[in-house]
Each structure stands twice: as structure tokens, then as C-alpha cells.
Structure 1
């Protein structure tokens, strides 16, 4: 498989975690967003939306949008599942994933931030925008996840796949995290897990030296 990704993209990060947790091999094809490589025709023939990540499967099909790709991986490679056997827990896992993918991450995506700047908002206002939406989302997640282990049990799953990259983004944008001890617990566990370590932006082939 080939993963078209940018090292600091949180959606690319979550897909790397899912691949690592399932023990799947892939080759990274770096797409440098800062250099505009995602807008070049050669990449837009792969992903017409011009965003990362995209995954080319072993049979040559190209998949886009990290939630859809992660669902594909879960169905295609059911060993080492990311979802609980319990239907209610599955719903909670999916809720946390959707909260991040639909309600937090899109609002601090670079395209949204650039649009705010084009509409005349200064960097102070952009920073306040990021802090507001990230903090609001993390406060909800703090109440939704469990009191021990990872988000919903002793092993990492779908919610953790989404949460850890969002924590990384919060730290990158200097959003305070002290009010979220449950999230801090999960992040501390992930810092010791080989799959999360492998997927971290600092360990990617396109990470700046």
C-alpha cells in the first residue's frame, strides 16, 4: 500500500496510527502542503479534492478521506480490531471519532484558517478561534471517555486513533490541556505504545531535520 500524507497533518497521523495498530505495511509518499504539492495536477489525479491523506491499496484502488479509509481497513483487515465487540461501546467510540473528525479538526484546518485571514482576521483572532473550538471539543471528550486505560478499555481503539493526533494539534497550537486529566492519561499511555510511536509526526520520512 502507498500512503500519500503530510507528516504534520492530523488526518494523516490518525491513519498512520490505524495502519500501525493493525500491523499493516505501507510506503509513505510525502505530499508537502507548505509547498503546495497537494494542488499540483499530478496529485489531483490521485485525489481530486487535493487533500491528504490518500491510500492506494495493494490492488491499485485509491481511497480518500481518513474516516472512510479507516473503515475500509477495519473491514478488510478485521484482525486487531479498532472497534469493541460491544455495540454500545462501538457507538461511543464512533461518537468520539466523529466529534474530532467533524467538529474539531475541520475548524482548525489550514484552509479554514487561511480563509479567516483572507477575511481580515489577524493572528490573535485566528489563535482565539483555534483555542475556542479545540477546547470546546476536548471538554466534551473528557466527559465521554472512561476513567482507566485508553479511551474505552485496556487496549487502544478507534477513539484513541482520533484523539492522539488531536492532542498533538492542541499542543502545537498552544491550547491548554490541564483541564483534561482523562485525556492526559490516554496520551501518556500512547507515548509508550509502539504503534503510536511509529506514527508520530517526528518519526516520518518528510519530517524536517
Structure 2
């Protein structure tokens, strides 16, 4: 295993996907030198960064001597294998599938609908104004979280966290979406199970340290 000091994380203070990687690094006790990619200034389209991720998206995790890793869920899986303790996935087959399913509901089905790339297209090519864009955000944040609430409230595997009583990849993805909801000052009603789980995340040191408001470049 290489030393954690060889990691570089291409990041930005407020992105949901970068937040996920920060939480995972914190849970694992790993560190990464951050290289800020200002997506508000369009730095993700710089030719040098496109050599790292041709999609022009962050985060990217780079380990010395290896190809860059992109896509937050793949990075979380990598970190879980790189540093197995504490685990981000349960030990049992069905538990791992459940956690991955919840994570995908959030990171693959909900988050992509409210990214900057989507906003840029909808507000230019599709002609959405700010009011329509906010309605779009509320619609898809609300749809995703309501569906997850239904699962978490009904399934017996739900504990203090999404799966049992220790944080997993599912909680990292849940918190990453809720943090964006907070940044955009959106209120999603009738999600008591999610609200309870978020209370546990909000008091966990790994999640606190990863909060967007605590990162370099965040508004004072």
C-alpha cells in the first residue's frame, strides 16, 4: 500500500460529489492534498484538467504512479478497498447490495439532475429562467428524497444510519444531497427518517469536517 500523502484530490468547496470523497477520506483517516478546480470560473474545462477527466467533472483522485480516478462512487469503493477499516459497506452480501442501491438512488438518480451542466443547458438551450430552474431543483430533490424516505422508513435494516448503526456509503451519499439542499435553501417536507439520520451525520466528526461551508473558497 502506498502512503496516503501520495493522494491529490481535485475538488471544489460546494460540489456534492467532492463532499462524498472528503467524508470517506475522513472516515478512513486518510488525507489528500486538494487542488481547487473553480467550476464557477469554468476551470473544469481547462485543457490541463480535461487530461485528468475528459468529462470535465470533479472530483478526481490521483495517486502517484497511477491513472486518475473519477466518479465519486468508484472513488468510495477504491478507498474502501485501499483502507478497509472502518468499512463503508456491510459485511453481508445483501447488506452491501442495499447500501449500493441507496447510494445509487442519490448519486446516480438524483444528483445528476441538478448539476451545473444540466443548469447551463436548461437555462440556455431550453430557455429556463431562475424561477423555473428552482422549481426543477425542488421537483427532483423532492422526488429523490421522498422515494428514499419510503424505503428507509419501511426497511428493517435502517438503524441510526441508513444501514445499521455506523455510517456507510449510503449515508455519505445521503448527506451529500442534503448538503446541496441546504446550500440552495430548499425545504423538503415529510422526510422524518432522513431528518433523523441527518442528525446523526451532522454530529459525526467526519461529516462535520467535510461540510462545504468549512472548505477553502466557501463564502464567509
Q: TM-score, normalised by structure 2?
A: 0.90
Q: C-alpha separation between the residues in 2 aligned to 1:191 and 1:25?
A: 21
Tell me, in whole angstroms, the C-alpha distance in 1 between the residues paired with 2:63 and 2:185.
36
Match of 1:122 in 2: 129
Q: Which residue of 2 aligns with 1:133?
A: 140
State the Cα RMSD in Å: 1.4
Shift of 1:46: 1.8
Q: State the 1:82 CA deviation.
A: 0.3
| Residues in 1 aligned to 2:179 and 2:159: alpha-carbon distance in whole angstroms | 21
Indicate which of 44, 52, 71 corresponds to 1:46. 52
Contact 1:147 1:182 in 2 (8 A): no
Q: In structure 1, what is the Cα distance between the partners aligned to 2:158 and 2:72?
A: 27
Matched residue SS, 1:34: helix
Q: Given the alignment, which residue of 158, 166, 170 partners 1:159?
A: 170
Q: Report the 3-state secondary structure (helix = DSSP H, G, I; strand = E; otherwise coil) of the residue aligned with 1:4.
A: strand
Match of 1:85 among 74, 79, 91: 91
Equivalent of residue 3 in structure 1, options 9, 25, 42: 9
Q: Deviations over 1:87-118 (max 9, x none)?
A: 22211111111011111100000110111111
Change (3 A) 1:205 1:172: closer
TM-score normalized by structure 1? 0.95
Partner residue of 1:57 out of 56, 63, 80: 63
1:189 alignment partner, one of 188, 196, 200: 200
The secondary structure found in structure 1 opposite 2:40 is coil
My pick for the range that moved more, 122-131 or 2-11, is 122-131
1:13 aligns with 2:19: yes
Residue deviations 1:119-165 (CA, integer Å, cap 9, x gap): 11111111111111110110111122255301111110110010001
Quickly say closer, same or farther: Cα 1:155–1:108, change in 2 above 3 A.
same
SS in 2 for 1:113: helix
For residue 24 of structure 1, the aligned residue among 27, 30, 35 is 30
- The answer to whether residue 155 in structure 2 is matched with residue 144 in structure 1 is no
Deviations 1:29-60 (A, max 9, x none): 11111111111112112222111000011444
Is the alpha carbon distance of 1:58 and 1:144 closer, same or farther for their aligned partners in structure 2, counting shifts above 3 Å?
farther
Structure 2 regions of 5+ residues with no counterpart? 1-6
Aligned counterparts of 2:76 and 2:134: Cα–Cα separation in 1: 30
Q: Which runs of 4+ in 1 moved over 4 A?
A: none
